Amino acid sequence: MELISGNEAIARGAWEAGATIGVAYPGTPSTETMETFAKQPGVYAEWCPNEKVAVEVGLGACAAGRRVLSSMKHVGVNVAADPLFTAAYTGVNGGFVILAADDPGMHSSQNEQDSRFYARAAHIPMFDPADSSEALAFTKNAFEVSERFDMPCMIRSTVRVSHTKCPVELGERVEVEPKPYAKDAEKWVMMPAYAKPRRVSLDARVAAVTEYAETCEFNRIERNEGAIGVICCGATYQHVREALPQADILKLGMSWPLPPKKICEFAASVENVYVIEEGSDYLSEGVRALGVQLSEPEGTLCPDGELTPGAIAVAFGAQAPEHAEMRDDLPGRPPALCPGCPHRLVFRELSRMKAIVTGDIGCYTLGALAPLSAMDTCVDMGASISMSHGFELGLQGREHKPVVAVIGDSTFAHSGITSLLNTVYNRGAGIVCILDNRTTAMTGHQGNPVNGITLQHRESRELDLPGLVRALGVEDVAVVNPMDLKATRAALKAAAQNADELSVIIFCSPCVLLSKTHEAALVVSSDCRACGACTLIGCPAISRDEDGKAHIDANLCVGCEQCSQTCAFGCIGKAE
């Protein structure tokens, strides 16, 4: 038995099923899936600039006859939705399996989304494992189902499946010969004349896979006392098993299509039937649509966040266990930009300018938190640049502070380029800061098209970022070292003075975590005047003692000298 996470198990399942190609964009909680797959022997795997591109590359490889794995977080499915919906029409040649990793509780995401709705809307069979063993088995099986029914398949996990490790029995890899490719325009060219018959074909394939769901061993009934019947899937099943040990359970390993006969028979076999699910009413809607009368527990189950066994037990009438109360005066401990993070001074300056900052997705979203507090919006990948253009339009004719978009290098490659093109095309103004820290830091330092590091370390090339921005039509392009406070301030000031033009500043300095060695910690001299200026950059290594003087924690400080540049009295420096 191996102790592996759900993500590792999905990668392993794909490998055992003979998949040879993997395509993904990283995103918590999905990232380790493709990282693990890429390390298997005999596979090719790549990071793509975004999930839409990944699914399209995957669809091409599957059309050419290979078994392909793609993985993404829930919001990545939004980006990939365009090819996904039509991939259900074309179907596959080699099996094509896509992981959608949901994040109920928003541990590292901007929203909660239930990807099961995508499966239903796009007509893509979806498997919903409850632990690592199932993740492996379901993924392996999904390739068979994909080829048998000529449909891409999805695996849906949640953070508690993706990031929970448990013992798993590994299997052997099956070597699968690539299927021959033969031109078939009626299957692959989705213009109306061919898409209309494919729509009819899709309905037939859905009917066939629904029949399959009725007998699929992953949709199983656990018999018990017969009073309480629960229909559930995914990690929720594990909570139900613990909270309601007396319950009969219909454990759905496929969350789309639902097996109507099996559900109705189960409902008829128990006194009261409940659906327990987190995040949405996807499953209860589907069960009710079959004419099943669902019972409701006495207590409520919150629709937001994650379910727990305790929450379910209490909803079904159990007493919550006694416990000590938390003190109400504990300081919060929000995450923060790391000591030495190259983003820090940019946000400090944006805060000083009182700029309207449209932010984006990545570590630098932490620039929104105190004491930097330098972000007005954060919505989705690439939105910083498009929303800043919108702010400029919306504020036109009114006096306003500079509007500044802030976006990371990987996010820019993901979805920022088209947004910038739009601003150029429509003669928009404002400032766009590309925080190029040479990596996709938030998800654990993956390569991306900007740094030119590929997933399996094949040779590639760095992007000429200023060259690309100029080619898009931006005339005012500057490349600035964000570790240099004066240069950062001067660049932002110059761009702000050039208010009627679009300015792009590329702040280029590598993520501090990419370096294994650091400069010696800095020290504060006894001349410190307790002004507090250095603490406004929000460095975790700097604190103030009882009389307000600065103190630097030598264990945390990496000697980056950002703080020393903020000290007007020259009180911070290297130890003598």
Partner 1 sequence: MSNDTKTVLLSGVGGQGAILAADILSRVAMACGQDVKLSEIHGMAQRGGAVTTVVRLGDSVASMVADKGSVDYLVSFEKVEALRNIEFLKDGGALLVNDEFIKPLPVATGAVQAPSGVVESLEQAGAVLVPAEALAKEAGSVKAVNVVLLGALSTKLSYDEATWLSVIESRVPAKFKDVNIAAFKLGRKFVEECSA
Residues that bind partner 1 (CB under 8 A): 1, 3, 28-29, 31, 107-108, 131, 159-160, 163-167, 235, 238-239, 241-242, 245, 306, 308-311, 320-327, 329-338, 363, 365-366, 370-371, 442-444, 532, 535-536, 538, 540, 542-544, 548, 555
Taking the complex as a whole, the smallest distance from the CB of residue 336 to partner 1 amounts, in Å, to 5
Taking the complex as a whole, the smallest distance from the CB of residue 332 to partner 1 amounts, in Å, to 6
List the structure tokens of 567: 């000290």
- Residue 231, beta-bridge partner list: 250, 275
Of residues 363 and 431, the one with the C-beta less far from partner 1: 363
Of residues 171 and 310, the one with the C-beta less far from partner 1: 310
Of residues 7 and 93, the one with the C-beta less far from partner 1: 7
Q: Give CA angle at 127 (124, 133), nearest 5°.
A: 155
Taking the complex as a whole, the smallest distance from the CB of residue 333 to partner 1 amounts, in Å, to 4
Entry field: residues in the chain: 576
Of residues 254 and 552, the one with the C-beta less far from partner 1: 552
Before 29, cis peptide (omega within 30)?
Answer: yes
Cα distance from N-terminal residue to C-terminal residue, the chain: 55
Closest by CA to 158, choosing from 61, 239, 219, is 239
Of residues 28 and 146, the one with the C-beta less far from partner 1: 28
Instruction: Report how far apart, in Å, the C-alpha atoms of 158 and of each of 73, 217, 322, 390 are.
Output: 9, 21, 29, 34
The DSSP 8-state label assigned to residue 440 in this structure reads: B
Of residues 120 and 165, the one with the C-beta less far from partner 1: 165
List the structure tokens of 294: 């669902």
CA–CA gap between residue 213 and residue 222 (Å, rounded)? 17
Q: Is 251 helix (H, G, I), strand (E, B) or coil?
A: strand
Taking the complex as a whole, the smallest distance from the CB of residue 31 to partner 1 amounts, in Å, to 8
What residues are designated binding site? 528, 531, 534, 539, 557, 560, 563, 567
Of residues 443 and 448, the one with the C-beta less far from partner 1: 443
What residues are designated binding site for [4Fe-4S] cluster? 528, 531, 534, 539, 557, 560, 563, 567
Taking the complex as a whole, the smallest distance from the CB of residue 13 to partner 1 amounts, in Å, to 19
List the structure tokens of 212: 């399959």
Q: Is 356 helix (H, G, I), strand (E, B) or coil?
A: strand
Instruction: Report how far apart, in Å, the C-alpha atoms of 443 and of each of 65, 131, 237 are.
Output: 31, 22, 28
Taking the complex as a whole, the smallest distance from the CB of residue 309 to partner 1 amounts, in Å, to 5
Taking the complex as a whole, the smallest distance from the CB of residue 242 to partner 1 amounts, in Å, to 4
Of residues 204 and 370, the one with the C-beta less far from partner 1: 370
- The answer to whether 483 touches 560, Cβ cutoff 8 Å, is yes
Taking the complex as a whole, the smallest distance from the CB of residue 223 to partner 1 amounts, in Å, to 14
Taking the complex as a whole, the smallest distance from the CB of residue 243 to partner 1 amounts, in Å, to 8
| Radius of gyration of the CA atoms of the chain, in A | 27
Taking the complex as a whole, the smallest distance from the CB of residue 350 to partner 1 amounts, in Å, to 18
Q: Taking the CB of residue 452, how many other CB atoms lie within 10 A of it?
A: 13
Of residues 107 and 352, the one with the C-beta less far from partner 1: 107
- 394 phi-psi bin (left φ>0, alpha ψ -120 to 50, beta other): alpha
β-pairing, 21-24 vs 254-256, is: unpaired
The DSSP 8-state label assigned to residue 446 in this structure reads: B
Per-position b or e across 276-296, b if 16+ CB within 10 A of its CB: bbbbbebbbebbeeeebeeee
Taking the complex as a whole, the smallest distance from the CB of residue 515 to partner 1 amounts, in Å, to 16
Closest by CA to 538, choosing from 300, 319, 338, is 338
Taking the complex as a whole, the smallest distance from the CB of residue 145 to partner 1 amounts, in Å, to 27
Dihedral sign, Cα of residue 11, residue 13, residue 16, residue 22: negative
The DSSP 8-state label assigned to residue 377 in this structure reads: B
Q: Taking the CB of residue 166, how many other CB atoms lie within 10 A of it?
A: 17
- The answer to whether 338 touches 512, Cβ cutoff 8 Å, is yes
E strands of 284-441, at which residues? 356-358, 403-408, 430-436
Of residues 107 and 574, the one with the C-beta less far from partner 1: 107
Taking the complex as a whole, the smallest distance from the CB of residue 50 to partner 1 amounts, in Å, to 18
User: Residue 347: which residues within 8 A CB-CB, separation 6 or more?
Assistant: 337, 364, 367, 372, 374, 375, 406, 538
- 133 phi-psi bin (left φ>0, alpha ψ -120 to 50, beta other): alpha
CA–CA gap between residue 119 and residue 117 (Å, rounded)? 5
Of residues 42 and 167, the one with the C-beta less far from partner 1: 167
